[in-house]
């Protein structure tokens, strides 16, 4: 199934932007009367019939919709320090979207070698990954912020998990999440925040701030994982717990 994206509706009509319109009309050669499937990026899948196959601004009349399309039964925000090699971070964002993530927060730590990150490419990547993996919701990419600001921004009552390399008795994500299972509804979805540090790990001050704010240190197992691999292992462990 080919999915298009648009968050622009006028009454009962969906309007595709120039890029999506060109893909729909020029590449896939859809014509008036064809039924297309469009996600709004917020979780809804629309069925719609093309009534103006304009390659610069195609319009389709909505004939049906499905909410929570391809949704997962949890809310997961991954705060991950950008890697030196940005390809590895983009790979993490794409794979996390396929598996199931809601928010990706690039965070800059005291030991981060990369202090800046442009989010435009990430936004394009996760949109394509959401469409490819048949999900109605596209993960939100936050603007880069410091690890400290992110720690302080998270609500007290959320489950807050920090993966870091310091020694100490740590639990696993599975232990923290079990017994887990699909919840009653959106309002009841468990909110999970996971923080993954840079190649140089968190500074002692960052780790102490997190612990003082109720973040729970976990181990991802005995293997020594790169930042982006640790992030995907954490996403998979959350995904697998539900």
Q: Cβ 54 to a copy of itself, closest distance in Å?
A: 30
Give the residue among 109, 229, 219 at the shortest CA–CA distance from 168.
219
Q: Which is closer to a copy of itself, CB of 21 or CB of 83?
A: 83
d(CA 120, CA 37): 25
d(CA 8, CA 122): 21
Of 57, 70, 190, 200, which one interacts with a copy of itself (CB under 8 A)? 70
Of 43, 82, 100, 109, which one interacts with a copy of itself (CB under 8 A)? 100
Site for a copy of itself in 47-66 (CB under 8 A): none
Instruction: Supply 34's token pair.
Output: 């064809």
Q: Which is closer to a copy of itself, CB of 91 or CB of 148?
A: 91
Counting contacts by CB under 8 A, is residue 237 touching a copy of itself? yes
Rounded CA Rg of the chain: 20
- Per DSSP, helices labelled H in the chain are 18-22, 86-99, 120-132, 147-153, 173-177, 204-212, 227-240
d(CA 151, CA 148): 5
Q: Cβ 194 to a copy of itself, closest distance in Å?
A: 14
What's the N-to-C CA distance of the chain in angstroms? Answer: 26
Counting contacts by CB under 8 A, is residue 180 touching a copy of itself? no
Q: Among the candidate windows 20-28, 44-52, 112-120, 220-228, which touches a copy of itself by CB under 8 A?
A: 220-228
Which residues are at the interface with a copy of itself (CB under 8 A)? 70, 72, 91, 95, 98-100, 132-135, 172, 174, 221-226, 229, 232-233, 236-237, 239-240
């Amino acid at each position: 199934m080919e999915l298009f994206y648009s968050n622009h509706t006028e009454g009962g009509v969906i309007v595709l932007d120039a890029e999506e319109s060109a893909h729909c009309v020029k590449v896939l050669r859809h014509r008036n009367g064809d039924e297309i499937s469009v996600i709004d990026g917020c979780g809804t899948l629309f069925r719609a019939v093309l009534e103006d196959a304009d390659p610069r601004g195609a319009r389709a009349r909505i004939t049906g919709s499905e909410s929570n399309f391809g949704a997962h039964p949890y809310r997961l925000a991954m705060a991950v320090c950008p890697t030196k090699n940005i390809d590895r971070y983009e790979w993490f964002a794409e794979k996390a979207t396929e598996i199931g993530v809601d928010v990706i927060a690039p965070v800059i730590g005291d030991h981060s070698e990369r202090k800046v990150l442009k989010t435009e490419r990430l936004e394009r990547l996760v949109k394509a990954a959401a469409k490819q993996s048949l999900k109605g919701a596209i993960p939100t990419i936050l603007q880069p912020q410091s690890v400290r600001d992110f720690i302080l921004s998270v609500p007290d009552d959320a489950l807050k998990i920090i993966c870091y390399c310091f020694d100490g008795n740590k639990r696993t994500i599975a232990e923290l999440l079990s017994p887990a299972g699909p919840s009653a509804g959106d309002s009841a979805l468990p909110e999970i925040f996971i923080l993954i540090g840079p190649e140089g790990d968190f500074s002692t001050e960052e780790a102490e701030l997190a612990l003082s704010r109720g973040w729970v240190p976990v181990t991802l197992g005995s293997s020594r994982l790169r930042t982006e691999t640790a992030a995907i292992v954490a996403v998979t462990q959350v995904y697998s717990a539900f």
